[in-house]
Amino acid sequence: MSAVPACPECTEEYSYEQGTLWVCPMCGHEWSAEENAEESTEQAAKILDAVGNELSDGDAVTIVKGLKVKGGADIKSGTKVKSIRLLESPVNGHDIEAKVPGAGQMYLKSQFVKKSN
């Protein structure tokens, strides 16, 4: 049995197979298995920040929302993080590894960072 793909429109994971198509019961979107294979390889290659900019290894980012850290000091909004590393396989939804000033080495979610120059 193959893994159930997430809907390319709404990203919900409740899709089901109907004949040669995949159907999302949440938004009603239908797509073929070939489209799903192409989109999953494209999405796997791209990690986007909070405003839609593509991130790559070595980029500098700024934290856009104050983050609570288990067992450590909170990270304030506006903290600049240099030389991020993108993870090939996310860890609990975290797709970036970086050394955050004042907090040390940790994983971050791309939805809470913005690419900076």
| Same domain, yes or no: 80 and 35 | no
pLDDT band at 44 (very low <50, low <70, confident <90, very high): low
First to last CA, the chain: 45
Task: List, for residues 90-110, the tens digit of each pLDDT value.
Answer: 888 899 999 999 889 999 999
Q: Are 116 and 49 in contact (CB under 8 A)?
A: no
pTM of the model: 0.61
Residue 69 maps to which CATH number?
Answer: 2.30.30.40
For residue 10, what are the domain limits?
Answer: 1-45
| Same domain, yes or no: 21 and 74 | no
75 - beta bridge partners?
A: 67
Q: Total domain count for the chain?
A: 2
Q: Are 6 and 13 in contact (CB under 8 A)?
A: yes
Tokens of 95: 């797709």
| Same domain, yes or no: 3 and 31 | yes
Which residue would you say has higher pLDDT here, 39 or 71?
A: 71
Neighbours of 35 (CB within 10 A): 14
- Which of 29, 45, 61 finishes a domain? 45
**Residue 63 φ then ψ, to 5°:** -70, 130
* pLDDT value for 40: 53
* pLDDT value for 2: 59
